[in-house]
Structure 1
Amino acid sequence: MDFALDSLSKEELQQLKTDVEKALKSVDARRKAEAKRAAEQAAKEFGYSLDEIVDAGGTKGSKGAPKYANPTDPAQTWTGRGRKPNWVINALDSGKSLDDLKI
Structure 2
Amino acid sequence: MSTKKLELEALSIDDLWSLHEEISGILSDRIRAEKQELEKRLAVLGGGAAMLAEAGGAGVSPTGKQRRKYPRVLPKYRNPQTSETWSGRGKRPRWLVAAMKSGRRIEDFRIGEAAPKLRQRA
TM-score, normalised with respect to structure 2: 0.41
Q: Which has the higher contact order (CA 8 A, sep 6+)?
A: 1
Name which one, 1 or 2, has greater alpha-carbon Rg.
Answer: 2
TM-score, normalised with respect to structure 1: 0.47
